[in-house]
Structure formats: C-alpha cells, structure tokens
Amino acid sequence: MNLKNHKRLKLLSSAVALTLSVSAFNTARADSYEQEMVIVHPFQWTYNSIASECTEYLGPAGFDGVQISQPAEHINRSDVWWAVYQPVNFYNYTTMTGNESELRAMIKVCNEAGVKVFADAVFNQRASGSGTGIGGSSYSDYSYADGFNSGDFHSSCSINSYTDAYQVRYCALSGMPDTATDNDSTQTKIAYYLANLMDMGIYGFRIDAAKHMGYTDIDSILSKTANIAGKRPPAYLEVIGAYGEADDIQPSKYTYIDNAVVTDFDYVSQMTNVFGNGNYGGAFDLYTSIDGASAEVFVNNHDNEAYRCSAGTCSMNTQNNDNYNLAQSWLAVWPVGTVRQVYSGYSFTEHDTGGPLSAARCEGGWLCQHRVPFVLNAPRFARATRGEAVTTKGYDDGILWFNRGAKGFYAMNTTSGSVTRTFSVAMS
C-alpha cells in the first residue's frame, strides 16, 4: 500500500517528539549485532521490578533488550551502587537486586515478552579485603568460595600510569585483586560462570572494565564460553578511550573481538554538545568515533551519571529532564551505532548513593526516563525502520525531522512552545 501523507503537526512544548510508521511494521527483533538494537539499562532495579517492566512496558514498546545488574554475590553492602562491582562468589546469585529464584523468573518473563536479557559481567577484579558476602559466602583477598584462589590472580601492584598498558592490565584497579584473565585455567573458570548464566536464559553480556584486560584474553574467554554453552554470547565491552593513554588500551583495539561491540564514550560528549548545549542542528552530524559496526552508543551511563552529578555538572543527566529526554529519544531513532542504550536512573545527591531498591514503580526516587512517552515509543520506531536509509531530513523552526525511507517519519520539537508544521511524508 502506498500512501502520501500530508500531516499538519502541532508539537507541544520542548519535550515532544512524534513518530509515524507504517501500521504493518517489521515485528522482528534484532537477533545479532548485524542489526540495530535498542536496549534499556534500568540501573539497580530489582529483578521483580524488571520482570514487571518487561511485560508492561519494554516488550510492548519494542525494546530489544534490557541490561541487569551484575548477578553474582557481592560484598555485603546495599547502600552504595558500586558494591555490585566487587563480586564474591560467581555461583551464589544473591545480590542487592534479588536472589536466584527471582533472577531466573525475571529472565523467563522478559524472554517471553521478547526482551533479551544482558547481564553486567564483572570478572576483571574481585572484592578486596575479607568478610562475608551479601549471600553468606566467606571471602578474603585471593580466596573465594567459587574456587578462585591465588593462582587466578596477578601479583599485587598498583596502576600509576595509564600510558603503561601493562600496568592497566596486570595491576589492581582501585586496590581490588586483579584476575589473571590471561591464564588459560582462569579463563575456563570465567567461561563456566558466563555459560551458567546463558543456561538460565541470559542472552549476552556487558563486560565491565574490559580496558583492564587484554583484547585477546577477552576473545579467548568468549570462545571458551561458546565451547561450553554451544554458542558465543554477544557482548559490549566497557572501554573508555582517553587521549594520551597507551595505544593498546584504546577502544579501536577491541573492535576485532567476534560478536562484540565497544562502548563509545565520545558519543556522550557529542550528545551533550547537541542537546545539553542546545546545538540541535548538529543532531544530524552525530557519529561514532569507533567503527560504526562495532559501537555501543548512549547518552550517559551509571559511571557518568554518578561522577558528573556529584561534581555538579549534570547538563546531560537523568537529574535534569527535558534535554536528557530529548537526547534519549534521538539516541534510539537516529541510525548511529549497532547497540543504542537508553538509561533510566534514580535521584541522588552523593556520588556513592545506591538505588532505592524498593519496587521501581516510578516513585520513591526512581525516575523512569524510559517511560517518557516519546522515549518509550522510540524503540518501536527504530524496529519498524531498521535497515532503512535516511532519505530526507531537516531542522526548521526548532523542529528536527527525518524520514527513514518510506517506513517511518520522526519529528522533534526542541523549542519551549508549541509549533505547527505541515510535512509531506511518503509512506509505503
């Protein structure tokens, strides 16, 4: 069916975007990184809350995936967000966000809703000191209840310079025991942990602190995981590029890992310039500094949010509404990057503050930016127009707009008032 739609649109306020797509849109969700994927990271949401969200919002909205918190037992603190980044036992799944039965139930519910589950995988470092984890497991430096012992860690040393790739990979991050990810038997232990999560129904992983591991070592771990699980999991790797640091730890070095993409923190700066600073016409010039087929892009993440807000520089942050919401909607629909991650955070004033940990029903500190209507509708548009080229575009009278072929039309009002415009839109 060919339609020529002449639409007179009234877009109200600065926080409005409109999408048009054909009614019989492409319902297939992305199955690999060869396609565009839109996922959401509801930071520190409980498993029960994520399960409900998959059924009520994420599935119907067309989100391809959801990222959950690191699922292994961690140090016994729930008041700080970074506690989950100090794992204690890879085979005890009690965390501040839920227990094993809740984890399994959430994975099942989300998969049934068509939402793939990505787990944050933290294995570069382990909990430091000694004590009892949040799930009851005892631990001490270089000795953990899951069988990791002194032979699975590098010798103790400190990272004093990021111009030295050896230090970055073989020394302790923030004083935590550094896993010997270059050791064959240690790689196998990590692979069994990842494969066990895949057996539960986890689809893929965010690999934390990938910059602190050799790219060949990560590739080997994922290959070993494939040998155990029967398939290689998709992964996106946290690699923060920085000028002046060693060349071998820059994001481009990690793009050759099979079925993996790399976080593009430069895209965050670009988004801040366009939406945080009001340079909206530059939205069409956004690009990934990494090979486009190998990039995960986002407006911010938990690290950016915590550090920037505590420093008082929240220009592009969940703490400041309209510009952030516009940026997240644009992130999801504009065809840059293989994986586009929408972030949903919570209110805080201190860098270390953890999530409320109550049922995340968009109150009590939870902000739920992914539920803002024009953000929530964006994944559906992205899915409907997946693979289509941008054929026309413009920025006129405060309106950002574009077509993706004859499959979809998107418009965003960046002004503080209502704007009425007429567009001639070809749809088929």
Supply the pTM of this predicted model: 0.92
Q: Distances from the Cα of 283 to the Cαs of 131, 328, 355, 356, in angstroms?
A: 49, 12, 32, 34
pLDDT (tens, 9 = 90+) of the chain, 428 residues, equals 233 343 444 443 444 455 555 433 344 444 556 568 999 999 999 999 999 999 999 999 999 999 999 999 999 999 999 999 999 999 999 999 999 999 999 999 999 999 999 999 999 999 999 999 999 999 999 999 999 999 999 999 999 999 999 999 999 999 999 999 999 999 999 999 999 999 999 999 999 999 999 999 999 999 999 999 999 999 999 999 999 999 999 999 999 999 999 999 999 889 988 998 889 999 999 999 887 678 999 998 888 776 655 444 444 555 557 888 999 999 999 999 999 999 998 888 778 888 887 776 788 888 899 999 999 999 999 999 998 999 999 998 899 999 998 899 999 999 888 888 888 877 76
Give strand pairing partners of 6.
Answer: 424
Task: Tell me whether residue 143 is in a domain.
Answer: no
378 & 404 share domain? no
Q: Which residues are catalytic?
A: 208, 238
Report pLDDT for 422: 84
* Structural domain boundaries enclosing 16: 1-26+389-428
Report pLDDT for 397: 87
Rounded CA separation 110/383 (Å): 18
Report pLDDT for 277: 86
| Continuous H helices in 71-175 | 100-112, 165-170
14 & 39 share domain? no
Domain tally, the chain: 2
374 & 420 share domain? no
278 & 373 share domain? yes
Contacts of 137 (CB under 8 A, 6+ apart): 73, 88, 89, 92, 144, 145
Task: Tell me whether residue 146 is in a domain.
Answer: no
281 & 335 share domain? yes
103 & 52 share domain? yes
Task: Tell me whether residue 169 is in a domain.
Answer: no
Q: What is the CATH number of the domain that holds 95?
A: 3.20.20.80
380 & 394 share domain? no
109 & 42 share domain? yes
Task: Tell me whether residue 154 is in a domain.
Answer: no
Report pLDDT for 428: 66
39 & 10 share domain? no
Task: Tell me whether residue 167 is in a domain.
Answer: no
377 & 267 share domain? yes
92 & 240 share domain? yes
Task: Tell me whether residue 151 is in a domain.
Answer: no
Token pair belonging to 103? 């984890």
Domain final residue, candidates 385, 400, 415? 385
Report pLDDT for 33: 60
Instruction: Write b or e for each residue in 155-173: b if 16 or more Cβ atoms lie within 10 A of its Cβ, otherwise e.
Output: eeeebeeeebbebbbbbbb
Number of CB atoms found within 10 A of residue 364's CB: 12
Task: Tell me whether residue 145 is in a domain.
Answer: no
For 186-234, where are the E strands, in sequence order? 204-207
Helix, coil or strand: residue 126: coil
43 & 15 share domain? no
Task: Tell me whether residue 373 is in a domain.
Answer: yes
